[in-house]
Structure 1
Amino acid sequence: MKVEYNKLVRDKVPEIIRESGRACEYKILGQSEIRTALKDKLLEKAQVFMNSPSEDELSDIYELLETIVEAFDYEPLHIDYLKIQNKENKGSYSEKVFLISVDDGQ
Structure 2
Amino acid sequence: MGHEYVTAVDDDGEPRFLRVVSKRARAKLNAITARKTRPPKQSARPLAQLRAWWMASAILASGVAADIITSLLEHARAAAAAIRARPPPWSNSAWRPSPSPRPCS
TM-score, normalising length: structure 1 = 0.29
TM-score, normalising length: structure 2 = 0.29
Larger radius of gyration: 2
